[in-house]
């Protein structure tokens, strides 16, 4: 994935150069109710063939711009102390195997960010929504161009400043048409990712 790695490095350097805040030596970022987050995540999708009926090794790069808003103050007192954010994400996948095809979707999203570790903020996220792909009829797992994509995963944000963070993590992806057309075996994949976010 040399091209994808170069893209992530360029994006990370760009976020550093365009952020006006200096690195803070002490303290941690304060995320309040109403704080908005705009981010870009990119990764490489790797297939999971969970049953003998799953035969396709679909894989390729994925790009996911997103917007979120924090909707709670920190809740809890222990290691689980954190905040809830809701928002939406666009999902674009370029399938390079078994042949070049594309997929694009729109997913409402919810995220829980653990807030107890200063500038290092682990989080868990879930998203799901409609997804269109031209894989339909070309592989045995998919018979419909209109599908749904569900993702669940976890990650870590490292706040470079109070308003900019680098993110790395993992997502599990499931794509299927929810039984609206058959066959509907579905596609499953892992997606390790990296990216950055701006908070304002």
Is the pLDDT reported for residue 15 higher than 70? no
User: What's the pLDDT tens digit per position in 184-199?
Assistant: 778 899 999 999 999 9
Q: What is the pLDDT of residue 52?
A: 67
Token output for 59: 């894989």
Q: Tell me the pLDDT band of 141, cut-offs 50, 70 and 90.
A: confident
User: What's the pLDDT tens digit per position in 162-180?
Assistant: 999 999 999 999 998 888 8
Q: What is the pLDDT of residue 143?
A: 73
Residues 6+ apart with CB under 8 A from 94: 60, 61, 62, 100, 101, 102
Q: What is the pLDDT of residue 48?
A: 77
- For the chain, what is the mean pLDDT? 85
Residue bearing tokens 């499953």: 188
Domain chopping of the chain, boundaries = 49-199
Residue bearing tokens 């993110």: 167
Q: What is the pLDDT of residue 112?
A: 98
DSSP track, 131-194: EEETTTTTSTTB--SEEEEEEEEEEEEEEEETTEEEEEEEEEEEEE-TTSSS-B--EEEEEEEE
The third-level CATH classification (topology) of the domain covering 49-199 is Porin (2.40.160)
DSSP reduced 3-state for 57? coil
pTM of the model: 0.82
């Amino acid at each position: 994935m040399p091209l994808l790695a170069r893209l992530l490095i360029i994006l990370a350097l760009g976020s550093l150069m365009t952020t006006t805040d200096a690195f803070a030596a002490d303290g941690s970022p304060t995320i309040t109710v109403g704080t908005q987050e705009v981010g870009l995540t990119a990764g490489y999708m790797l297939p999971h063939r969970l049953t003998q009926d799953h035969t396709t090794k679909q894989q390729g790069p994925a790009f996911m711009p997103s917007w979120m808003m924090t909707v709670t103050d920190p809740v809890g007192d222990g290691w689980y102390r954190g905040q809830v954010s809701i928002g939406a994400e666009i999902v674009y996948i370029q399938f390079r195997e078994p042949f070049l095809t594309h997929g694009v979707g729109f997913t409402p999203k919810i995220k829980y960010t653990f807030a107890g570790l200063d500038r290092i903020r682990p989080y868990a996220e879930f998203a799901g929504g409609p997804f269109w792909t031209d894989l339909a009829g070309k592989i045995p797992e998919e018979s419909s161009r209109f599908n749904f994509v569900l993702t669940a995963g976890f990650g870590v944000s490292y706040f470079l400043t109070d308003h900019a963070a680098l993110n790395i993590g993992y997502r599990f992806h499931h794509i299927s048409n929810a039984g609206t057309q058959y066959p509907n075996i579905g596609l499953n994949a892992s997606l390790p990712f990296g990216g950055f976010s701006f908070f304002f």
